[in-house]
Amino acid sequence: MLGLTLAARHPEMVNRLVLSCFLARYDLAARLMRATWKRAARDSGMRAVADLTSVAGFARGSTSEQRRKSNWNRCVRHLRAPLPRHLSPAPR
């Protein structure tokens, strides 16, 4: 949302803008998707969330099958990786 706002206010600064998993409004479908991701994280861990969110981020017709598969695997690998220590929640 920040990138979109900056692009709208300063279009001369933007050559291209990619919006991924972006919602213009938080409707019922978005709330259900978020609830599903939270449930998956709680019940099955972040691996399941990585799989679910990566599906949402790749359109079927956007690129060739081989490139899409490569991008998908890279995305899932990064989503499944543990957070860097400085970004991890503090222990309770």
User: What digits encode the pLDDT tens for the residues 9-19?
Assistant: 888 888 888 77
Evaluate whether residue 68 is within a structural domain.
yes
Residue range 43-51: average pLDDT? 82
**Would you say the pTM of this structure is higher than 0.85?**
no
Inside any domain, residue 33: yes
Rounded to an integer, what is the distance from CA 17 to the centroid of its chain? Answer: 15
Domain range for 50 is 26-82
**Residue 6 domain-assigned?**
no
In whole angstroms, what is the distance from residue 19 CA to residue 6 CA?
13
pLDDT category, 34, cuts 50, 70, 90?
A: confident
CB neighbour list of residue 80: distance below 8 Å, 6 or more residues apart: 46, 47, 50
8 domain-assigned: no
Whether the predicted pLDDT of 69 surpasses 70: yes
Domain total for the chain? 1
Residue 49 lies in a domain: yes
Kindly state whether residue 32 falls inside one of the protein's structural domains. Answer: yes
Looking at the domain assignment, is residue 77 inside a domain? yes
